[in-house]
Structure 1
Amino acid sequence: MDKKEKILVVEDEEKIARVLELELEYEGYLVKKAMSGYEALEKYRSEKWDLILLDIMLPEMSGVEILRRIRSDDREVPVILLTAKDSVEDKVSGLDLGANDYVTKPFQIEELLARIRAALRHSAGLKQDEQDEEWLKVKDLFLNEKTREVKRAERQIELTPREFDLLVYLMKNHRQVLNREQILNAVWGFDYFGDTNVVDVYIRYLRKKVDGIGTDLLIHTIRGVGYVLREGK
Structure 2
Amino acid sequence: MRFLFYFIVVSLSACGQSNFTEDNNEKIVRPNIKLDDYLNNNMNDSTPSISFGHVSNGGLKHAKLMPYKGTNFSYFDEKSYLSGRAFTHHKVLNTVINGYKELEKNYPKRRFQLMECSNKHGGKMWPHRTHQNGLSVDFMIPKLKDGKPYYGLDSIGVGHYWLSFNNEGIYSKDSSISIDFEKIAHHILILKAEGKKQGLRISKVIIKVEFKDELFEGYFGQLLKNSGIYIVKSLTPTINDLHDDHYHIDFQEL
User: Do the two structures share a fold, i.e. TM-score over 0.5?
Assistant: no
Query: Greater relative contact order (Cα 8 A, min sep 6): structure 1 or 2?
Result: 2
Higher helix share: 1
TM-score, scaled relative to structure 1: 0.25
Larger Rg: 1 or 2? 1
